[in-house]
Amino acid sequence: MLTENDPIFPIAQAAELAGMHPQTLRQYDRLGLVRPTRTAGQSRRYSMRDVVQLREVQRLSAEGLNLEGIRRILELETAVRMLGDRVRELEGVIADEVLSRPGGRVFAAGTGGEVIPLRAGTRAKKSNQVVLWRRSWWN
């Protein structure tokens, strides 16, 4: 099964999909804007993700950004994506850890906003208190 990261497009096809000249793709590779995979014969192979990134470079360039600015934006977007992946990974580790620890502490919120510590598997006691206000108190 192919993924968006599989390098399947030769430079001519990638250039056509991105709406660019192959020489532009070579220049973007030299500048580090897009890093295609190389075959054993050193031919460039582009993935669908690379083609999408080429289109993004084209869009940002049309908006007036220079290539160095575009390179920095792409670098930051990659860092954000990697950090998001790491956060999801750590959330999974934490969830697994919490589930594997029976008897861990759980908290509930009281009616006054206070924190009520509970043992796992127990419920907070319900409060059925009613406060009556007499209108004459406000007058």
Instruction: Give the pLDDT score at 123.
Output: 67
Provide the residue ranges of all domains of the chain, joining segments of one domain with +: 9-100
Q: Specify the CATH number of the domain 9-100.
A: 1.10.1660.10
Express each pLDDT in 14-51 by its tens digit: 999 999 999 999 999 999 999 999 999 999 999 999 99
pTM above 0.75, yes or no: no
Distance CA 65, CA 68 (A): 8
Amino acid making up residue 11: I
Kindly report the number of other CB atoms within 10 A of residue 111's CB atom: 8
Express each pLDDT in 55-109 by its tens digit: 999 999 999 999 999 999 999 999 999 999 999 999 888 888 777 766 555 667 7
The set of long-range contacts for 22-29, using a CB threshold of 8 Å and a minimum separation of 24, is 25/54, 28/54, 28/57
